[in-house]
Every structure is written in C-alpha cells, then in structure tokens.
Amino acid sequence: MKRTEQLHFLHQTIPEEYWKAIIENDSTYDGTFFYAVQTTGIFCRPSCKSRPPKYDNVLIFPHAEQALAHQFRPCKRCKPTGARVPDQEWIYGVTDYIDKHYTESLTLDILAAVSHGSPYHLHRVFKRITGQTPVQYIQAKRVTKAQELLKQTHLTVSEIGRQVGISNAAYFVSVFRKHIGYTPAHYRERQGSGS
C-alpha cells in the first residue's frame, strides 16, 4: 500500500498541547511524540525550527519507527532518529517534492523550507548529487511534461506553459527552446510530420 493510501486511514485530531508544542518548537515534548507533514513526506521532533506546518497536513506518531514505517523521511534539520540524513536521501526527497509540485511556484527558498535545510546548502548538495541546480531540474521536468502535452493535446502553447508551471508565455517559449532547440510550436509541427 502506498503512503498516500495508508494516510487516508490515519487522519486524526491533534491534541491541543501537541499542536502548541509544534508551533512553539517546545523541546520538552521531544521524545513524547513526532510529527509528520504529509505534503513534504518529512517527520520531525516537536522542537524542530522549520517553518510551522499546516494543521491539516500533520500526523502524530508516538515513535520515530512508526513514521519511518509510513515512509516518512527524517528531517535533516532536527534529526528525529538521532542519525544524520544522508545527502543522497535528502536530495531524493527534494526531487520527489519537485516531481509532485512542479506546476506550482517553486523557488530555492521554498524548496529549502519544505526540505528543512538552508537554500545555500540545498543548492550546493543538490548540484553535487544530481549534476543540476534545483532550477535546472525544475525546468527540465516542466519541459518534459510540456513535450508530452504538445504531442498528446491540442492545447495552445500558452495553456501548456501554464499547465507546467510557467505562466509567462514568452518565458515558457524561451525555456523550451533552450532545452529542446525548437520553439514549442515548431516542436509540435515536427512531431506531427514524423520528423
């Protein structure tokens, strides 16, 4: 069963004192419970200094092992398992987040916040692990999806740009041409002619 299917059964009301501990980063609750954020796939100690999550996205676990069993990854910042998260695993979590949210506005600051790291460290480690910067990875993901839409739909170039997360049509054309060597319209023509 996938994590999202499992989580459907886990929706819960968070005790008020636990929610307050999360919001206030209360270290006296460390070891009492762990909280996981469904949108990021990461779990933390109550004292974690990361950006406060939305209440509806939080699940509570009494033990770190339970969060791990539900396929949540330990936070790189607060290290809820006591162990350092390997860089490869951390970046895998970031690429997984990008793959699921590439249509949204994604900046280095946003990615750093959801992955519980600093923008500078994330940029450096991401490039070392993947060979690309986060922005290059996001653009490649968007262009790949745009190629599929150009082949499989009759949406306009502007509509496709918006669907892949680039609302400025001129910028979308520029990014697409930089990656593929053709404008989106020319790419669609070439696909239609079998070239």
Q: Give the active site residues.
A: 44
For the beta sheet containing 58-61, the strands, ordered from the edge strand earlier in sequence to the opposite edge, are: 58-61, 34-37, 42-44, 73-74
Query: CA–CA separation, 166 vs 162, rounded Å?
Result: 5
Listed in order, strand segments (DSSP E) in the chain are 34-37, 42-44, 58-61, 73-74
Q: Which two tokens stand for residue 189?
A: 């023509």
Query: CA–CA separation, 43 vs 63, rounded Å?
Result: 11
Please check whether residue 89 is in contact with residue 64, taking contact to mean a CB–CB distance below 8 angstroms: no
